[in-house]
Amino acid sequence: MSETPRIVYCNCTYAKVVPPEVKGEVLRRLCASGAEFEAVADLCDLSARNDPALKRLAGGGPVKIAACFPRAVKWLFHAAQAPLPKEGVEILNMRERSADDVSRALLGGAP
């Protein structure tokens, strides 16, 4: 039996590159779902500060990350000496995908 992926939500507080309506709706749906998730203010900021939270997030088993471009998220973790594993990681791009699409992917198809 496979382990349920953890959910990480990036609010992109400082860079402001994710459309506010998308990130707001994804966060609203996560809260309404009752699912456990971890919200971070900004993965870019965590990476710039080499925050140990990135190592914890990278090493804790399967994870779904709602943020921005997958290649950028991978490099943020790498730059903080917390590379994401090659398997068990799904990065959902809130810059290009709809709130519906991201929410469904995070919550396993639940509306």
**Domain housing 11:** 6-106
Number of domains composing the chain: 1
d(CA 15, CA 43): 10
Closest listed residue to residue 47, CA positions, set 78, 17, 7, 12: 78
Within a domain: residue 57?
yes
Within a domain: residue 94?
yes
CATH number (domain holding residue 15):
3.40.50
The 10s digit of each residue's pLDDT in 36-53 is 999 999 999 999 999 999
Within a domain: residue 40?
yes
Total-model pTM: 0.93
Name the helix (H) or strand (E) containing 91: strand 89-93
Q: What was the pLDDT predicted at 94? A: 98
Q: Return the SS3 of 18.
A: coil
Within a domain: residue 87?
yes
Within a domain: residue 1?
no
Within a domain: residue 111?
no
Within a domain: residue 63?
yes
d(CA 36, CA 51): 22
Asked whether the beta carbons of 76 and 8 are under 8 A apart, the reply is no
- Segments of the chain with pLDDT less than 50: 1, 111
